[in-house]
Amino acid sequence: MDNIPEAEGPMSSTVRRWRRLATRHNVEWSELVLIALNLYGLRGANPDSLRLRLLAEDDEYLTVVQANKSTSPFSLRAHVSPASPQHGLRELCVDGTTVAEIIDVEPSETVQGYLRADGTAANVHAPETDEYPEIVRHYRQTLRLLATEAPESDGPDRIREVAFNGHDADRGDMDSSEIIRHLTALREAMNAEDVSESATISVLTTAFTADTDFVSLRRDLGPLLLVLDADSGMPSEPGAEAVLPEAESLAQTLKAAGEAGLETSFTVTVGHQPLDVIKEWILPLAERTTVWPSLTIHPAETLSDESQHVAAPDERLDFFLEARNLFEQVFAPTRLKPEPWRCYRGLWYRQFAGEPLEGPYV
């Protein structure tokens, strides 16, 4: 590749090695940097996770990263001396070599909701209450708050999708009746707050199966995007074996939902299984998917902990670049393309199969 920018000053051996990887895999330099950042996290005395807004090669990126990784090659550097011509500049560095400028950094904290896709998509979190009127009130308040943050003050009518997660941090996975209750309350709140009736509700869940009455859901709740969560049930203990749910069962659920008029997708974390295994698992799902799935990078706990990844520590970045190329081939017949704003720790940011991706990006 001839589009890898020259670094100013001495270049770290890590950056040199990564540049060679970018050339070999035919990926933009900024794509590789973002993949590596989501893999290794940040070094330093930081909160557990940070929301970073970066500027790399004149493009802006938003990502949430693990930020207290002692072995990460990434660190933040701030120019604080008033005498410095770079006073106030904050940089993202790899072993001392600058790779991006930091536009904004803040702790990643749980909030009622937030906007993505240039303000056209809203993510909302479920309230703690079980009282239906209070659930509706919570979603109305969240949508009203987000409307004030929308670009150009376009308000609720700008929102084209509202995302709901069927997993509660305190109570675990919601069952199907709980999810339907929340989706009903959410649609009621959207209507009350003048969100367009054509706006889609996307729901991330494991509760629905091929036997779910998707026809009634589509009739009662309007446009829906079903995102099956293949990561639900994955072991959280270090070293425990990660077993994927049965692909054929998920594919049948996606098929039933699609035949009822729902958009369909799924999410899975990549890095637990060899690429040939994950390829065979994904193939039947790809045939039933209408929205590009969230293929998420499995972050490294440490550079040396081999139990966390199927790839050896010094081969992990190469592994994800190979995975990226593999998934491009698997989904080629579908003509689907990634929507980068849907996945914080994804494998695509501005480029897909050697071609530029269209926005929105963050």
pLDDT computed for residue 172 by the predictor: 81
pLDDT computed for residue 4 by the predictor: 46
Domain assignment present for 81 = yes
Percent of the chain with pLDDT over 90: 64
Total domains in the fold of the chain:
1
φ and ψ of 54, to 5 deg: -115, 155
The domain of 56 spans 13-107
Beta strands in the chain (DSSP E): 49-56, 59-66, 74-78, 90-94, 97-107, 113-116, 121-124, 161-165, 167-168, 172-173, 200-205, 224-229, 263-270, 294-297, 351-352, 355-356
* Residue-wise pLDDT tens digits, 334-351: 999 999 999 988 999 999
Torsion on CA atoms 195, 140, 182, 62, rounded to nearest 10: 70
Domain assignment present for 324 = no
Pairing of strands 172-173, 200-205: unpaired
Domain assignment present for 216 = no
Domain assignment present for 36 = yes
Count CB neighbours of 166 within 10 A. Answer: 22
For residues 264 and 271, the answer to whether their CB atoms sit within 8 Å is: no
Residue 82 has pLDDT above 60, yes or no: no
* Residue-wise pLDDT tens digits, 172-196: 889 999 999 999 999 999 999 999 9
pLDDT computed for residue 214 by the predictor: 98
pLDDT computed for residue 84 by the predictor: 54
Domain assignment present for 253 = no
CA 37/CA 76 separation, integer angstroms: 12
pTM metric for this prediction = 0.90
Domain assignment present for 48 = yes
